[in-house]
Amino acid sequence: MADVPLLAVEDLVVEYMTPSGPVRAVDAVSFVLARGEVLGLVGESGSGKSTVAQALARILGPPAMITAGRVLFEGSDVLAMHEDDLRRFRWRKMSFVLQSAMNALCPVLTIGEQIIDVLVTHERTSARAARERAAHLLELVGIDPARLTSHPHELSGGMRQRVGIALALALDPPLIVMDEPTTALDVVVQHEVLSKIAELKEKLGLSVLFITHDMSIVSQFATRIGVLYAGRLVEMAPTRELFRAPRHPYTKGLLGSFVSLHGPRRRLAGIPGSPPDLRRLPAGCAFRARCAEATARCATEAPVLRGIGEDHSTACHLVSP
């Protein structure tokens, strides 16, 4: 198993079935995530990043459908699993931390009841052992175990999100998918939660797929970053390389859109326009209408993702190795 990647996604396609026909939200996305790695997936709203995350554990509901590709987890094809195998796979092998813990947690159960419920359901452990484990999990995320008897509304936003992380850690899964885990928090609480995630990553050697629209956040953890635009991966590179030498015009735009506390002062550039309507994608490159570097070729031919250097790939006609 040593040379089998923890997660390999191959040409994944997800479509939403609408009255006017299928809309492709994820288009031939491929990537690999190694054990102990934190891989960032970045893009604007509607880029397909959350749809990719949900497709990995097959928790997408209609009208979304996975219409092509493979998701290999430790070599096993998740898309071919039967319901029973899927039930064992979810949370034990791949767990989730979602954007708003207030929505993810049950408001009428205590924190302890919710963590113990996960442990007893999946591990058939005794109530006492589950209670001890729940207390340990809260300690791990920096919350006093006395809070096991609290309800979600009695905790601050940051604490609730850390409870979400404790729940994701409950069964020691090899992979945690964090989907915008700090987006709903103010910057101070965001820092508190990000620090905790960074600490746990070091302590437990977590493998994480970290999904966000915020480049500055993902740069703190990710070993590599994949940039999604209109459902396609347009650039993938080690984090340092991506920040040092972004090659795709969209990546350059994203990096020019946030404030850096380091380096020389510069004017924030932003990206003009907005992402395309997936129901009416233009011919050629989907980024063309917003791209200052577009040429005539970009209007007719869609660029494909190809390697341009060590572990660095991009999808742009103007970029060559």
Query: Which of these segments, 12-20, 63-71, 93-101, 291-299, binds ligand SF4 (CB under 6 A)?
Result: 291-299
Whether 40 contacts 212, CB under 8 Å: yes
Nearer to ligand SF4, 93 or 290 (CB): 290
| Residue 297: CB minimum distance to ligand SF4, A | 7
List the structure tokens of 208.
């994480």
Q: Is 316 in the site for ligand SF4 (CB under 6 A)?
A: yes
List the structure tokens of 61.
């509901």
For residues 306 and 13, give the distance between their C-alpha atoms in angstroms, rounded to a whole number: 18
| Residue 28: CB minimum distance to ligand SF4, A | 16
Contacts of 149 (CB under 8 A, 6+ apart): 110, 111, 112
Strands 232-238 and 224-229: antiparallel
| Residue 292: CB minimum distance to ligand SF4, A | 8
Residue 236 bridge partners (DSSP): 226, 313
Query: Which of these segments, 101-109, 134-142, 173-181, 310-318, binds ligand SF4 (CB under 6 A)?
Result: 310-318
List the structure tokens of 261.
């506390």
Nearer to ligand SF4, 171 or 289 (CB): 289
Nearer to ligand SF4, 104 or 215 (CB): 215
Q: Is 305 in the site for ligand SF4 (CB under 6 A)?
A: no
For residues 211 and 177, give the distance between their C-alpha atoms in angstroms, rounded to a whole number: 8
Question: Using the 8-state DSSP alphabet, how is residue 64 labeled?
Answer: E
Q: Is 249 in the site for ligand SF4 (CB under 6 A)?
A: yes
The residues binding ligand SF4 (CB under 6 A) are 248-249, 285, 287-288, 291, 293-294, 298, 303, 316-318
